[in-house]
Chain A
Amino acid sequence: MESPPDFSLSCPIPINDYPHVLLAHGGGGTLMHQLIERMFVPAFRNPLLDARHDGAVLAADGARLAFTTDAYVVRPLCFPGGDIGSLAVNGTVNDLAMCGARPLYLSAAFILEEGLPMQTLWRIVQSMRRAADAAGVQLVTGDTKVVDRGKGDGIFITTAGIGAISHRLIIAPASVRPGDAILLNGDIGRHGIAIMAVREGLEFEAAIESDCAPLADLVGGLLEAGVEVHCLRDLTRGGLASALNEIAEAARLGIGIEESSIPVREDVQGACEILGFDPLYVANEGRFVCILPASEAERALRIMRRHPLGVGACLIGHVTQDTSPLVTMRSRIGVSRVVDMLSGEQLPRIC
């Protein structure tokens, strides 16, 4: 049988450069971007996938549904402010929220490592239940597998979710327009630093807690009030910088932000200074950017600030006329510079 013309046996990732998968291929930076763009997207190409959003928006018998999936691997399993269970629920809930959907149903698949204490599993399951209750979703189907000791990291969880869309907006990078305002719902960098602190035994005066939280209610408030939202994106791996770069890239527009308007808590800033990290690239699990017409910004901020997860909401910048997809930031001393996507993970520095 003839192969279809676009079928290629050769691997699209330059094998000479990367004969093996590196951790950086999952780090949310350039290498992961390349893996998705060169391997996954061409292999599975279809219009829904091409939208490159946090989830796919499907039409089903006249209704619009959002569908998404995410896998969760985190060490340590429990950290200040959450655990892998609450993360697995909130992460998928947030991906649905970023499609402008009301999350309804979740699935969960568990890959358990032989020897995982039953007490730990119970704690994680209870945490998932509480997170699902808080987000107003039901966990309706699932799967369980156990792998040999040493072949897993205690527990891996994959969740998928379905949500309903009850507005007519197209919430996607393609809707972004020059002049749009960029809002952020609070301080950045807490999740990444909380994980780092536990993993590496860094001690602070008070523990830094992850910001892990479900964002659907906050986003729902904006949509119910009729705010004309153009694009939403939660800030996970790769942080604010990667999210803005992804949006700029997909919208083919420039983005300009102000360093002094981006809130970073003092303890998080201090930890970043010690580790040589830039908070713009540190992971979050309860933060998102909302891009909308500048005329809607004030009203949207008022609505967001009424919600507990949006108390620190602020305007951080605007979409520019620039057609090169560049994110620039005016530094604290008033000079502009590029905010690039990282090539891999941030590595702690020497001195």
Chain B
Amino acid sequence: MKFIDEYRDAGAARRYAEAIARATTRPWTIMEVCGGQTHAIVKFGVDALLPPTLTLVHGPGCPVCVTPVEMLDKAIEIASRPEVIFCSFGDMLRVPGSSRDLLAVKATGGDVRIVYSPLDAVKIAREHPDRQVVFFAVGFETTAPANALAVVQAGRQGLANFSVLVSHVLVPPAMEAILASPGNRVQGFLAAGHVCTVMGTAEYEPIAKKYRVPVVVTGFEPVDILQGLYLCVRQLEEGRAEVENQYARSVRREGNPAAVQLIRQVFRVRARKWRGIGEIPQSGLGLAEEYAAFDAEARFGVADRTAAESPDCRSGLVLQGVMKPPECPAFGTRCTPEHPLGATMVSSEGACAAYYRYRRREGAHEAVPATEP
């Protein structure tokens, strides 16, 4: 398949792995920002092809994982109301809130529906004027344009029964938070290709300059990731700190201006809490004043809810690249996909889920860290 097969080619992967090994003279630590990249690395075993001096750490780029517990609790509270049809992307349904998840709400009679596009939720609102339809607007810059479009369309169609529970987060502030933290180990980034498809690459230039880190915008297939790592290692070895674009088949420097315009129209940048990490200033999106009528938090009176995260869950350290999932004492024992302590164990992009699914058992993989149970 075009754009898939050539980026999963064993020969190309080996050649890039060899080029990386040749280019690497010192130990380097590189973070792949996006959870989709983490899964590709673990699923295809990309890290097993790398020289031992090159360390990959997994970043916070999984929208499901960083959605705070209280937002899940708000979603669960709203979805439990009899008049509500609660629409969500599929992988939010298994994420634990304080006491249960959205699948449990569904099992006890809540009308929780999986949609593939926020516009499907708008359609449901039109077809059910007697019900309140709420869309769980989660994600990074990638999903923000479509979610914004849903709000605009609902406004145009005068759908008073439609609202959105917004939990949008932004990549660059999270990268800055990681770089500014005292325990930071990250020396270079693979930036998230699809986020940059929307936003472009310019906003990473100040970060690369300020923190002296290379940022390589990278795709999601094994050969993409190996190419991205090669470019990043070359910059590190040569002492450069620039924004480079490995994923040129999808990303332009200016991004997608129409999508960016839509985000600016509907959302405003605001502080957001990240699950496991805490509040990061200017790191998320909320509805703009003009669209406040579509705010589900206000409509259902849940804005003030707070919740504590499980003290046993170390997902914050995993999301900041400080700890690898198997190093967590709860990994695979008290925390499994059936009984997750945190979202990183359930999401299809979560680092803990990736390690559990592909690397859980001893001897299955040569790259398994020695600490794995």
Contacts and interface: CB of A to CB of B under 8 A. Distances in A.
Given A24-B103, A337-B45, A340-B356, 4 more contacts: A332-B8, A333-B9, A343-B338, A347-B348
Contacts of B93: 347
B308 interface: no
Contacts of B356: 340
A47 interface: no
A1 interface: no
Interface residues of A, number: 36
B360 A338 contact: yes
Interface stretch (A15-23, A172-180, A223-231): A15-23
Interface residues of B, number: 53
A21 B108 CA distance: 9
A350 B139 contact: yes
B251 to A, nearest CB: 15
10 contacts: A200-B116, A324-B361, A326-B361, A331-B43, A332-B222, A347-B348, A349-B349, A350-B63, A350-B64, A350-B89
B358 interface: yes
Contacts of B361: 324, 326, 338
A80 interface: no
Contacts of B138: 350
Interface string B241-271: 0000000000000000000000000000000
Given A20-B107, A22-B107, A334-B13, A273 B4 contact: yes
B10, B139, B223, B349 interface centre (most CB from chain A within 10 Å)? B10
B180 interface: no
Contacts of A30: 337-338
A336 B361 CA distance: 12
A22 B222 CA distance: 35
Interface string B341-363: 00000001100000011111101
Contacts of B1: 266, 269-270
Contacts of A324: 361, 363
Contact of B44 (A24, A326, A335): A335
A60 interface: no
B13 A333 contact: yes
Contacts of A308: none
Q: Quick one: which of B143, B361, B364 has the most chain A CB within 10 A?
A: B364
Contacts of A336: 45, 364-365
